[in-house]
Amino acid sequence: MQRTLAAVVVSTFLAACLTPAAVLAAPLTPKQQNGITYVNGGVGDEEQAAMKAQRADYNLLLTFATKQSGAYRSDVQLDIADAKGANLVTAANTGPMFFARLPAGTYRISAAAEGKTFKRTVKVGSAPKEIVLHWENDNPDDPGPQD
């Protein structure tokens, strides 16, 4: 009996130690502004795994990076406005991943860091819309995808 109990304890311990970080990563807590639910994070492997695990819950998926080095950015000032110009979400120090659940419609995204501001108009529906903004060799005046 003691040998069986010890075997169960050891096997449980080993299973916990061998479980991938993605399974152990606690989900990041969603926030809300003006009825818009969003989650922000992705710094480090565990947070990236937690963000990726929540992707299916959101229809706007933003990633911020530096093109030359490929390094992620987590210092982005982000603003999302509706088609009429009403600001829905304002978040400082966002990134490297930012996911939002928006009603279907057209939105204006403004993302600023290092004195460079990207402005993108995006149409969001039920299918996920993914945008990666690079802070080197990317034209901030390019309106980006319009689909």
- Would you state the pLDDT for residue 120? 92
Q: Which pLDDT value is given to residue 22?
A: 38
Nearest to 143 by CA among 114, 113, 107: 107
Q: Which helix (H) or strand (E) holds 3?
A: helix 2-18
DSSP 7-63: HHHHHHHHHHHHS-HHHHPPPPPPEEETTEEEEEE--SHHHHHHHHHHGGG-SEEEE
Burial-class residue 90 by CB neighbours within 10 Å (0-12, 13-18, 19+): middle
**Residue count (the chain):** 147
For position 67, what pLDDT does the model report? 77
Domains of the chain, first to last: 27-134 (2.60.40.10)
pLDDT tens, residue order, the chain (147 aa) = 544 433 433 343 334 444 444 344 456 899 999 999 999 999 999 999 999 999 999 999 999 998 777 788 899 999 999 999 999 999 999 999 999 999 999 999 999 998 889 999 999 999 999 999 888 755 555 544 444
Q: What is the pLDDT of residue 143?
A: 46
pLDDT at 115: 87
